[in-house]
Structure 1
Amino acid sequence: MGGHSSGVSDRVWTVPNILSMLRLLLVPVFLVLVVAGEYVPALVVLVVASLTDLLDGYLARRLGQITRLGQLLDPAADRLYIFAALLGLAANGLVPWWIVVVIVARDVFLLVLGIVLANHGYGPLPVHQLGKAATFALFSGVPIIMLGLAFPQVQPVSEPIGWAVTIWGAFLYWWAGVIYAIETARVVRQARVSPPPASDTLEQGG
């Protein structure tokens, strides 16, 4: 077992990681359903994915199976479901493409920051609470929009709420991105003064 003093292991085949992998495998199924306008089954897939997300997090802590792979798969799955929902809805003309560009551009921005950090010998920045809040808002807002598409009876209520939460989430997403950029600049300045730690294993940014 590749355990570490931090309690984070290098294991791959753990129950939480298998659940995360299954959640990732459902992403293309979810995207196809959204593009096809099958919003009820798409929401069912999203609910199943959300439940497995909660379950794998619980099991990872309960079984002591927190892994580096799991720390990467979990946020990746969340982002992919958000992207898939937005892409599918935009393809159907139900949401504007600018919202897709705003969300994707922010993650590209973070990828660039990650490359800058790697060039200075550092890993990704630790998760900021604002980033978690932004992801939660987006992961809630987009399904609320879809809920109105699946059940037109609730659309007059769900659509404005869904859009409010989604736009707020996009704003927080970029706000967190700015915070990561400021932190990256601080780390790079420090790296010019002193060498990076021998083993910098920071968690993936949200």
Structure 2
Amino acid sequence: MPGQSDIDPVVPRASVANVANLLTGLRLVLVPVFLAALFVGDGHETFWRTVAFAIFAVAVITDHFDGALARAYGMVTEFGKLLDPIADKLLIGSALIGLSMLGDLPWWITIVIMAREIGVTLLRFAVLRHGVIPASRGGKLKTLVQAVAIGLFILPIAVWPPIWLTLATGLMWLAVLLTVLTGFDYVLSAVRDSRTRPAT
């Protein structure tokens, strides 16, 4: 009979209702607020575009803090790992579609990025019963570059020096490239996992 010291202690699971998940929820709430500010007037008013940028920036910052808090304080949950990328995609997607509707961003860029994001989200749901696919380092870099590029397009660039538009365009091209490459990487990872997963 094993002694008390041989018995593994019960490690409690992190509660779904924690600060990290609340920050993720806040990001979801900020999406319609951001869109409202983006489309005030004709959608090109300098003040409201700056407000929209500020809201977008706050939402992006919560993405950094919710992940950092979850890892540092043991608040990582399966729910959070699934909801976090969904919140990211809603924020990024709403910004891309909004900018394309306003004529500030070509629709093909929005379509390429959204096709990848929706595809990866569907892939996550498809393999959910076998576990959640965590965000890769490449995926995190892609999200960061997307956020910076989109943020520059949200700002009223028309009243700024032309260099800002050049910088924003260059970053957006990089974001598209990373989007496509990381999309293929997710698919390949899912295929590899399915081949190595034991049959049930």
TM-score bracket, shorter-length normalisation: 0.7 to 0.9
Paired residues of 1:35 and 1:91 also in contact (CA < 8 A): no
Instruction: Tell me which residue corresponds to 1:12.
Output: 16
- CA-atom RMSD, angstroms? 2.4
Q: Give me the whole-angstrom Cα distance separating, in 2, the residues matched to 1:54 and 1:178.
A: 24
- AA at the equivalent of 2:143: T
Change (3 A) 1:52 1:99: same
- AA at the equivalent of 2:131: G
- AA at the equivalent of 1:66: V
Task: State the 1:187 CA deviation.
Answer: 2.4
Instruction: Tell me which residue corresponds to 1:85.
Output: 95
1:52 aligns with 2:62: yes
* Partner-residue secondary structure (3-state), 1:20: helix
Paired residues of 1:34 and 1:88 also in contact (CA < 8 A): yes
Could you tell me the TM-score, scaled by structure 1's length? 0.77
Q: For structure 2, which runs of at least 5 residues remain unmatched after alignment?
A: 1-9
**Which structure 1 residue ranges, 4+ long, deviate > 4 Å from structure 2?**
none
Instruction: Tell me which residue corresponds to 1:23.
Output: 27
1:180 aligns with 2:186: yes
**% identical aligned pairs:** 33
Could you tell me the TM-score, scaled by structure 2's length? 0.79
Q: Give me the whole-angstrom Cα distance separating, in 1, the residues matched to 2:15 and 2:80.
A: 9
Task: State the 1:183 CA deviation.
Answer: 2.1
Paired residues of 2:35 and 2:94 also in contact (CA < 8 A): yes
Q: What whole-Å deviation, never above 9, does each CA across 1:94-120 have from its counterpart, x for those lacking one?
A: 1111111101111232244335535xx
Paired residue total: 185
Structure number with greater Rg is: 2
Instruction: Tell me which residue corresponds to 1:157.
Output: 163
Change (3 A) 1:188 1:25: same
Task: State the 1:30 CA deviation.
Answer: 0.6
Instruction: Tell me which residue corresponds to 1:147.
Output: 155
